Amino acid sequence: MIDEQLILSGVNRKNEKAWKSLYEHYYAALCTYVNRILKGSESTEDLVQEVFIAVWRSEKRFDSVQDLTRYLYRACYNNALVFVRNNQIHDTILNSIGAESDFTADDVYAQTVREEVTRQLYVYIEGLPSEQKKVILMSIEGYSWDEIAEKLRISVNTVKTHKSRGFKYLRSKLQDSVCLFLI
């Protein structure tokens, strides 16, 4: 049987012998308590030891053994909950990174192919006759036939002809493109 009052006074004075007795008296019970919360985690012992270290480093004084006991159990409980919360956040982050990495690999590949096709498209647009190039670029920007005709001061039929000839040329060029095989 241990003298709880002797341990209490030794804990309050930071007496190492009293702390050793406190540790031996509470450690196994606190580990069992935390283990029930963490459901068999390997971190149980570390968590309990961290509580003892925190109490040792603190300036906290205890009026009774019951206060000390309550404090130790409450600190273990709080640390266990923080541990569970942090692991859930950690797992969520890891899962989202894993999901993003699967999505990102395909997405990056598709984006790279789109950028290469777009780059080649603009290279071929540069090879178009001047009026066809203007009509195609304005079409890509979203202008209607009427708006293009008005801005370029040409008829709508001329816009349609330039657009049709330009797209025919671009289709023939892009048909031979290596990037289309990658899609």
The pLDDT score that the predictor gives to residue 153 is: 93
Residue 108 lies in a domain: no
Residue 115 lies in a domain: no
State the total domains in the chain.
2
Q: What is the pLDDT along the chain (183 residues), one digit of tens a residue?
A: 457 778 788 888 988 888 888 888 888 888 888 888 888 778 889 999 999 999 889 888 999 888 888 899 999 989 888 888 887 765 666 565 555 545 555 565 566 666 677 777 888 888 899 999 999 889 888 889 899 999 999 999 999 999 999 888 888 887 766 555 444
Reduced to 3 states (helix: H, G, I; strand: E, B; else coil), residue 4 is: helix
Same structural domain, 24 and 71: yes
Nearby residues of 167 by Cβ (< 8 Å), 6 or more positions away = 136
Closest by CA to 7, choosing from 72, 58, 19, is 19
Same structural domain, 84 and 155: no
The pLDDT score that the predictor gives to residue 98 is: 54
The pLDDT score that the predictor gives to residue 35 is: 85
**Token pair of 136, please?**
């195609």
Residue 163: DSSP 8-state: H
Residue 111 lies in a domain: no
Residues in the chain: 183
Residue 183: DSSP 8-state: -
Q: Would you say the pTM of this structure is higher than 0.85?
A: no
Question: Where on the phi/psi map is residue 114: left (φ > 0), alpha (ψ -120 to 50), or beta?
Answer: alpha
Nearby residues of 183 by Cβ (< 8 Å), 6 or more positions away = 113, 117
CATH number at residue 82: 1.10.1740.10
How far is Cα 79 from Cα 76, in angstroms, rounded to an integer? 5
The pLDDT score that the predictor gives to residue 112 is: 62
- Which residue range is the domain that position 162 belongs to? 128-174
